[in-house]
Each structure stands twice: as structure tokens, then as C-alpha cells.
Amino acid sequence: MFIALIGSFATAQTKKQKKKKSKEETEKPNIRFEKGIVDTIPDAELKKKRNFYFGERTRKAFTRIDGQTNTTFEIFNVLREPAKVDSYVRKIYYHDAKKGQIITKEGRGQTLNRLLHGPYKKTVDDIVVAEGMYFYGAKHGTWLYQKRDSSLYAKEHFHKGWFKDSKITYYDEDRKTKIKEVIPYQYGKKEGEYYLFFESGNVAVRGNYVFDKKVGLWDEFHNLPGVVRYKKQIQYPEQFYLKNVKPYVKIEWNRNSTVVYRSDDQNQ
């Protein structure tokens, strides 16, 4: 009988120890670091809110174009409420639900509905050909462009509508609300659309750079309230490598849009 009691006591002890051990394993350990020791293990990321980008709730949308040989989809997110756009960004994108299209507008501080905001993807027959991010209707972050064989042919980096490496100066450098000049840079060279603004916010000059060279038509404007009137068009070489082609004034207007000069030689 004594042996049986010992066996019963031992069994009870074993069960008690297992129960205690199981409780210790399930309880959250109280880890305290000694002074001078830093916790280098990152905390688990919080679960991201669905369709929530840059502090704004969005909803998913898409466009579909059925061609003769392929089908093109654009999948993107739009803001749920109308929002005011940037006064300077030249290309603002929003979704026209009635037309079933993405429309491009020039930013003038207007309020637009269904601004693209968040991730964007364009596919042709399920092959991704363009992918990027929008911020209140402006391109933002890294944009990738691929051929239909999935080979990458272009990559662009934006920051709220401008090329990320652009050199931007302001009339009010302390507040940075009135842009003066935007010189586009990509990979260390002037590349893309150049803009010079009047202090009023109107465009003074615009044109394009390719490999540090001015190309194509450059436009100059009069500074008039509420209207856009050309002042001058200057023709630069159509290609950056045409070194023997000299730029010339193609046409010039006065403030009333009357032509005051037109070049006779269009091939100089």
C-alpha cells in the first residue's frame, strides 16, 4: 500500500509539473534588458488598412478597352471625396466614370472628383506593361514600364508630380509655396519637361530637355490674369544629337495675340 501511495504522489507531481510548464510556455515572457543593451529585433508590422494610402481612404476602380487583338485593363484607386489639386503640377490624373477613362488635367488648384490616389497597374492580355503610384492625382514614387514580353524598357522616379531629382526653386524659399523654376533631372542629366513660372503662378516658359539639350518647340507666355496667351515660340533641334541645327524664333505675338513676327525660313 505504501508503494501505491508513492506511485500516486509521483503521478500527481508529474501532472502538476506539466501543468505548470504548459502555463509558463503560454504566458508572455517578461523580458527585461540590462542597462546598455539595445533590442535590435524589429516589432511586427501593424496590419495595413485596406485601400488606405497616404492617409486617405480610397476605392478601387478600373477601365477596360477591348481591341481587335487584345484587351487592356487599368486597375487603380481613387479618392472617395473630391480634393483640391496642386496649383503647379502640369499633369493631374482623375477617373471619368461616365466615359470610363482616365483623364489628364493641368493642375491649377481646382477641386476634382475621383482623383487617382494609390497604386496603378496597366495590363495588356494579363501582361503588366505599366505600374506605379499616384498621390492626389500626380505620379509619385517609382514607375516601371515594360514591353509585352515583360522586359523592362523604362523606369521613372517621381515626387508628387515632378521628377524626383528635379531642381526646384521658389519665390518664397522659406515657405516653398510659390514655385519659380523646375529643372528636370534624371540620372544626373537634364531630362524631361522644364518650367519657369511667374510669381503669379502662371507659366512663363516651358520646353523639353533630352540628354542636357533643349529639343523641339519651347514656349514663352505673357503674364496675364485669367488667360493663357503665347508670347513667343522658339524652335530647337528636334533631336538632341543634331548639333548643326541652330535654334530660332519661329513666331512671336503681342499681348493681344496679334502676330508681330514670323520666321520666313522654317528650315534654318
Is the pLDDT confidence value at 149 over 60?
yes
Mean pLDDT of 117-123: 97
CB 90 within 8 A of CB 138: no
Alpha helices in the chain (DSSP H): 2-26
* Model confidence pLDDT, tens digit, residues 160-171: 999 999 999 999
* Model confidence pLDDT, tens digit, residues 23-72: 555 555 554 545 555 656 666 655 667 899 999 999 999 999 999 999 99
Q: Compute the 3-state secondary structure of the chain and give helix, strand, coil in percent, each to the nearest 5.
A: 10, 45, 45
Is the pLDDT confidence value at 19 over 60?
no
Closest CA to 187 of 166, 160, 216, 208: 166
Residue 226 pLDDT class (50, 70, 90 cuts): confident
Please state whether the predicted TM-score (pTM) of the whole model is above 0.85.
Answer: no
> Would you call 88 helix, strand, or coil by DSSP?
coil
- DSSP letter for 160, please: T
Lowest-confidence segment of 4-8, 11-15, 65-69, 216-220 by average pLDDT: 4-8
Predicted local confidence at residue 38, as pLDDT: 60
Predicted local confidence at residue 7, as pLDDT: 54
Is the pLDDT confidence value at 82 over 90?
yes
Residue 254 pLDDT class (50, 70, 90 cuts): very high
* Model confidence pLDDT, tens digit, residues 157-210: 999 999 999 999 999 999 999 999 999 999 899 999 999 999 999 999 999 999
How far is Cα 81 from Cα 25, in angstroms, rounded to an integer? 49
Ranges of each domain in the chain: 53-164, 165-263
Predicted local confidence at residue 261, as pLDDT: 97
> How many CB atoms lie under 10 A from the CB of residue 182?
23
Q: Which residues pair with 87 in a beta bridge?
A: none
